Structure 1
Amino acid sequence: MCSGAARLTDMANANPLLSPPTLPYDLPDYAAIEPEHYLPAFREAFAAHSAEISAITRARSMPTFENTMLPLETSGKLLGDVARTFYTVSSADATAEIQAIEEELAPLMAAHQDSIDLDSALFWRIRTLHDQLEALDLDAEQRYLVQRRFREMAHAGAGLDDAAKQELTALNQRLSTLTTTFEKNLLRDTNDLAVVFEDAAELDGLSDGELSAAAQAAADRGLDGKWVVTLTLFTGHPYLSSLTNRTSRKRILDASRARGSRGGENDNTAVLTQIVRLRAERARLLGYDSHAAYVTADETAGSPGAVHDLLRRLAGPAARNAEREQAALQAIIDGEPEPFPLEAHDWAFYTEKVRAAQYDLDRSALRPWFEAERVLQEGVFHAATALYGVTFTERRDLRAYHPDARVFEVFNADSAPLGLFILDLYTRDTKRGGAWMNSIVSQSRLRGTAPVVVNNLNVPKPAAGRPTLLTLDEVTTLFHEFGHALHGLFATVTYPHFAGTNVFRDFVEFPSQVNEMWIYWPEVLDNYARHAETGEPLPRDVVEKLHASEAFNQGFATSEYLAASWLDQAWHSLTAEEAASEIDVVAFERAALADIGLDNPAVPTRYSSTYFAHVFSGGYSAGYYSYIWSEVLDADTVEWFRENGGLTRANGDRFRTRLLGVGGSKDPLAAYRDFRGRDAEIQPLLDRRGLVA
């Protein structure tokens, strides 16, 4: 009979996920990993992690930082490595085989996590240290580690009795399966509802590059000679602003809004109501009135009431601004030979007409100035170099998880290696919608690891040989997601628990929103906004018009976002009793939006419930408010940069050291005060979004 060590060696020889890393920065060897490697690796990692926790809890000596917290921080490395490797693929290249693995894995992962979070012996050791904290000789990061570990285990239910823990574990496993099902249904329905056009004339108004991408999407599906418009994660679609054919616009928007609600195997209606019910039941078990109360209790907001107060404060002015914008759009339509009442699928198209009339600006015509490679190299990377001194070198010798994903090595100003950045720009049927950042490897002094971070977008891929021309919104998304990447790259902590973007959910969007600031900064914009064919810079008068129109259409943009945030709060503010009743999803949405005054049919919510992946399959349940909550800090920070000279190394070093660099090792609002010298003020946000009288 072979020993445990010999068994692990044998498995490692056959499974690259169990072998010591051989690539720079511990980048997984994706070329060697096959789908059948994942589940055996997870099972081995679960067992190893459980053994590591048992070694801590079996110790007979009284708890100390050295015999409890240190081994806790070194435990679970194999599981973390395998999980980050797999979940990177399951979000960005979810083949049917990968989806099947994720479905089988979801309850196993939930059960294992609960076995750690709810471990009574481990909780006793951490609580003992927490109770003696003032007497312990610990540095600031160590003290905060004890505080956060205690708070998180208590919040997870570690203090419950055994019967309640058993019930909680069953709820968590069921929820993990349901959220995975929601995501799988949405991906399939999004692919199924991609809109097929028989004639290019139906897509009049699209650029040559957009038509090329639509033709390529059709060819990829075996529909040569046709055009396919794939759907974005959010309700609207970039093409709605330029398509002249009203029927085509309606087809695209109708398809987008139908996702997950058409009946059949991809319908998410029953799935989401079950998720809401089980989350409410879990919150009650944990001693909270609602899931929203449970979530916000461990965020900077502190309570649903604080969130609701902010959303209501902003909703009224946003709705009034949207009504004024709507009247301006209707006036344009009324002047046409055959006027009609404005509908949701018309808004973006006529917004561009009003923008052209008021500002002499056609944003759809700007795409030739936003060639993707130049935006990346001379915009996104250039701004980071100017601000932080970091540089980027593409590593074509390193393979990521998909051929479209590119690997860059990142260096500090002193040329010392910092980590890897992976960019996966293009949409595909196996990639979930939207844009996101995730880590494959997290930095930790204790473990001696450096960061490997990924940015995913969903830009339509043109035919071979054609340039990728971005919309201004896609440029914004690229800068935004790279802000998350910088946070993951710059966080420099000792303990893995605080690595990268492991901060409160309603703080995590702050660094990414700040990074959007550099899009229009003169020395950055002048560097990247060059015509793809002529190399000419974006004309100065166009730049001035972009600045002048920054607050334009903010009524619509703010309203659609706030509507989604309020839907999230409405669902997750239900008590267990309320969630147990039979709920008509359409009627519930209608009532919730009416309650906050955002029920304008021409301004649909950014996400309807059946395709609201952020909250029903992502990590933003009861937390979609985080974007506007973080934007208070963001807008205030932009003011600080303007007051202090803008894009300078001194400013970048201060922001990196005092905010990005601390990761999760410090209370985020304390870190903000350290950077800014005071708490954030809301006025810059109100000014930015035109929400002042």
Structure 2
Amino acid sequence: MRRRTFLAASTALAATSALPAGVLAQSTSPLLAPWTGPFGGVPAFDKVKVADFKPALEAAMAQELAEVDAIANNPAAPTFENTIAALEATGRAGDRVSTYYGIWSDTLSTPEVRAVEKEMEPKLAAHADRILQNARLFQRIDAVYQHREHTGLTPEQKRVTELRWNAFVRAGARLNPEQKARVAQINTELAGLFTTFNQNLLHDEDAYVLYLKAADLEGLPADVRAAAASVAKDRGKPGEYGIANTRSSVDPFLTYSARRDLREKVWKTFYSRGDNGDAHDNNAVIKRILKLRVERARILGFPTHAHWRLANNSMAETPDAAMALMMRVWPSATARVREEVAEMQAIADREGAKIKIAPWDYRYYAEKVRKARYDLDMNEAKPYLQLDKLREGMFWASGELYGFSFHPVTGVPVQHPDVTVWEVKRGPEHIGLWYFDPYARQGKRSGAWMNAYRGQETFQGKVTTIVSNNSNFVKGAPGEAVLISWDDAQTMFHEFGHALHGLNSAVTYPSVAGTRVFRDYVEFPSQVNESWLPTPQVLNRFALHHQTGKPIPADLVAKIEKASTFRQGFDVTEYLASAMIDMKLHLAGDADIDPDAFEREELKKLGMPDELPMRHRTPQFGHIFSSDGYSAGYYSYLWSEVIALDAVEAFKEAPGGLYDKAVARKLHDEVMSKGNSVHPREQYRAFRGRDPDVKAYLRDKGFPTT
């Protein structure tokens, strides 16, 4: 899940007569212009020029400041309408610019784009602080907040008021002028450091490619070889094979390559991103980020950054609660790792490998164990997992659950030829647009994520959402099906779950629409959506062999289901290690931290198995160091998965199973449509009738529940 917010507010509708003359002069930029065309307007991607980003961002900031100043200086007594609702109507031009800017930064990055980021990210942070620390504005917000129970506000209006007030308080609205100035300085410096971290990481992902000859490909399936050939060809080395330094390229190689020496080389290169002691090393950046975060937290009245991040901003509420959940699972996960390693070592010994299982061996020997224990080679499933067919399967399942239908759209601008667009309907009603950008390319960050180009609202008339999903699959030759792994298919359904959260949104105010929820709740709808991939209804219709068109065999599906708890020790442990190091880094106070040493020492204290790494080693942990986004919050995936798997059991307990219409309707009504207009805890209680139970998660992983 990826969220990029421009300024403090969500959308804007302001009279240009209130703007300074300098802003008016620049307001003709196509990046600032309201979107036109079908479906309530679409982004003008065909008008984007990198040279326009800086002036457009500056004009949008100036415009929003004018809008906000008009609210702060309103002589009328503060009310919800002239203060909170008025803030909901600020920043529309900025949101449009940030859509373009964010897409180019994430998926079309060039040296020119990165130069703009270096210059503008600190300015954007300073701009947000100018709004969030506006004393007159906060006085008006506070007045509405203090009287919210007695002025006839709707429940959603009270929720919007409370969230707005909390955002200003958390940002330092009640600090003295000197403290405000220091917090603003910290935020500006952090913005620059986040950009540096991200660009260092992107450099190491782009710069390091292992080129191989045909003789080096022993063990690699045909599709992995084809993907490697495509990587090399795209980088001007036709006839060779390239293993890019991204997870989508590295994981298949580590799983199937019979060359242990090459597995080690690929593994070490991938897990050394940002940690090579060169100009792109991230360790010094991390040290400074941590120092600044704890200083800011203490100015704001919290002992650590972790306490500040979770207070009044999460379901967990405290670092202790988050750590308690992680430690509830950690012993079971690491115990399972020891069992998995023992099985792998036994196979290596029988084969006469004369090795001790190392991190670069885990995936390779795990596949041998899977084959031996379950007679299952996951590569057997790949011919049935066509990217386009699975996309249709996602559409179909969303229709069964939420009544959606997807219709291809042509003739609208897209940012790259690989991007395709669908109109989403429920019956005859237009719901929104879904953009899909599936393929890897240079300048595109690795991984998979969802974005909202435009949020849903009915605040000033009906506005429908525009959402996108982004992946990094290797594009096949023209006319060839793109085949993906089972894990990649799960990721597709996961990220599409975020898109469905946005598409189902049915709120009034844009600041609480769609995925604008607590960080440890936002992954819940996406993790729930993974559950529909392995259902017979999806697999029999859409998991079709790319040559014969026959559905995936029932016995193969049964083997996959039987092996569903396989390698859960590895998967859960590598994730939890990252989540706990994240929390420990942000609970360490102002200690002088050496990131590499801290990671190594804290993992040793936890009893981290030697045979696997953290999923995201500290110098490459973009979730927590390329923004404040998941900092002290990477635990959120576990917290959300506990909720999600408990919710899935509600379906399993119903007569219709995972396609039970009554449970699906309740999920829509109480969760998917609510955004953040109702506290997430109350949403879940309304859906499930109680708080979530961790036992569903433990059962799903095959771990003991006691």
Amino acid at match of 1:673: R
1:84 and 1:676 map into 2 onto residues whose CA distance is: 36
In structure 1, the residue corresponding to 2:471 is in which secondary structure?
A: strand
1:5 and 1:290 map into 2 onto residues whose CA distance is: 41
Say if 2:344 is the partner of 1:332: no
2:459 and 2:643 map into 1 onto residues whose CA distance is: 31
CA root-mean-square deviation? 1.6
1:213–1:460 contact (8 Å) kept in structure 2: yes
Aligned counterpart for 2:610 among listed residues 601, 609, 618: 601
Aligned counterpart for 2:149 among listed residues 134, 157, 164: 134
Number of the residue aligned with 1:421? 434
In structure 2, the residue corresponding to 1:453 is in which secondary structure?
A: strand
Aligned counterpart for 1:40 among listed residues 48, 55, 68: 55
Amino acid at match of 1:208: A
Aligned counterpart for 1:277 among listed residues 265, 275, 291: 291
Number of the residue aligned with 2:447? 434
Matches within 5 A, 1:232-381: 232-233=246-247, 237-297=251-311, 298-377=313-392, 379-381=393-395
1:473 and 1:649 map into 2 onto residues whose CA distance is: 28
Matches within 5 A, 1:193-592: 193-197=208-212, 199-233=213-247, 237-297=251-311, 298-377=313-392, 379-412=393-426, 414-447=427-460, 448-576=462-590, 578=591, 581=592, 583-592=593-602
- Structure 1 residue 6, shift from structure 2 partner: 7.7
1:183 and 1:363 map into 2 onto residues whose CA distance is: 33
Number of the residue aligned with 1:675? 687
Number of the residue aligned with 2:677? 665
In structure 2, the residue corresponding to 1:259 is in which secondary structure?
A: coil
2:283–2:596 contact (8 Å) kept in structure 1: no
Report the identity percentage.
38
TM-score computed with the length of structure 1 as normaliser: 0.96
1:427-452 CA-to-partner distances (Å, cap 9, x unmatched) read 11211111111111111111432111
In structure 2, the residue corresponding to 1:391 is in which secondary structure?
A: strand
- Structure 1 residue 61, shift from structure 2 partner: 2.0
1:236 and 1:280 map into 2 onto residues whose CA distance is: 35
Taking a change above 3 Å as real, the CA distance of residues 234 and 169 of structure 1, as seen in their structure-2 partners, is farther
In structure 2, the residue corresponding to 1:251 is in which secondary structure?
A: helix
2:32–2:94 contact (8 Å) kept in structure 1: no
Amino acid at match of 2:677: S
- Structure 1 residue 80, shift from structure 2 partner: 1.5
Amino acid at match of 2:649: E
1:209–1:466 contact (8 Å) kept in structure 2: no
Worse-superposed segment, 505-514 or 538-547? 538-547
1:462 and 1:518 map into 2 onto residues whose CA distance is: 26
1:269 and 1:443 map into 2 onto residues whose CA distance is: 40
Amino acid at match of 2:140: R
- Structure 1 residue 327, shift from structure 2 partner: 0.3
Worse-superposed segment, 463-472 or 560-569? 463-472
Amino acid at match of 2:619: T
1:235–1:606 contact (8 Å) kept in structure 2: no
Taking a change above 3 Å as real, the CA distance of residues 375 and 234 of structure 1, as seen in their structure-2 partners, is closer
Worse-superposed segment, 318-327 or 586-595? 586-595
Taking a change above 3 Å as real, the CA distance of residues 311 and 4 of structure 1, as seen in their structure-2 partners, is closer
1:235–1:604 contact (8 Å) kept in structure 2: no
- Structure 1 residue 365, shift from structure 2 partner: 2.3
Taking a change above 3 Å as real, the CA distance of residues 131 and 265 of structure 1, as seen in their structure-2 partners, is same
TM-score computed with the length of structure 2 as normaliser: 0.94
2:32–2:96 contact (8 Å) kept in structure 1: no
2:172 and 2:65 map into 1 onto residues whose CA distance is: 19
1:453-502 CA-to-partner distances (Å, cap 9, x unmatched) read 11111112223332210000110110000000001111111111112200
Matches within 5 A, 1:181-196: 181-196=196-211
In structure 2, the residue corresponding to 1:342 is in which secondary structure?
A: coil
1:85 and 1:113 map into 2 onto residues whose CA distance is: 19
Number of the residue aligned with 2:84? 69
Number of the residue aligned with 1:610? 619
Number of the residue aligned with 2:8? none
- Structure 1 residue 4, shift from structure 2 partner: 5.5
Consecutive unaligned residues of structure 2, counting only runs of 5 or more, are 1-16
2:286–2:595 contact (8 Å) kept in structure 1: no
> Aligned residue pairs: how many?
683
In structure 1, the residue corresponding to 2:83 is in which secondary structure?
A: helix
In structure 1, the residue corresponding to 2:47 is in which secondary structure?
A: coil
2:211–2:242 contact (8 Å) kept in structure 1: yes
In structure 2, the residue corresponding to 1:225 is in which secondary structure?
A: coil
2:650–2:663 contact (8 Å) kept in structure 1: no
2:243–2:249 contact (8 Å) kept in structure 1: no
Taking a change above 3 Å as real, the CA distance of residues 233 and 205 of structure 1, as seen in their structure-2 partners, is closer
Amino acid at match of 1:402: H
2:18–2:66 contact (8 Å) kept in structure 1: no
2:287–2:594 contact (8 Å) kept in structure 1: no
- Structure 1 residue 20, shift from structure 2 partner: 2.7
Taking a change above 3 Å as real, the CA distance of residues 351 and 126 of structure 1, as seen in their structure-2 partners, is same
1:27–1:440 contact (8 Å) kept in structure 2: no
2:79–2:144 contact (8 Å) kept in structure 1: yes
2:159–2:678 contact (8 Å) kept in structure 1: yes
1:8 and 1:573 map into 2 onto residues whose CA distance is: 44
2:605 and 2:145 map into 1 onto residues whose CA distance is: 43
1:621-666 CA-to-partner distances (Å, cap 9, x unmatched) read 1100000000111110110011122214433222112101001111
Amino acid at match of 2:108: D
- Structure 1 residue 532, shift from structure 2 partner: 0.5
- Structure 1 residue 41, shift from structure 2 partner: 1.1
Worse-superposed segment, 389-398 or 626-635? 389-398
Taking a change above 3 Å as real, the CA distance of residues 592 and 23 of structure 1, as seen in their structure-2 partners, is farther
1:234 and 1:395 map into 2 onto residues whose CA distance is: 28
2:211 and 2:287 map into 1 onto residues whose CA distance is: 31
Say if 2:656 is the partner of 1:643: no
Consecutive unaligned residues of structure 1, counting only runs of 5 or more, are none
Taking a change above 3 Å as real, the CA distance of residues 439 and 304 of structure 1, as seen in their structure-2 partners, is same
Taking a change above 3 Å as real, the CA distance of residues 592 and 3 of structure 1, as seen in their structure-2 partners, is closer
Amino acid at match of 1:480: H
Amino acid at match of 2:408: E
In structure 2, the residue corresponding to 1:134 is in which secondary structure?
A: coil
Number of the residue aligned with 1:54? 69
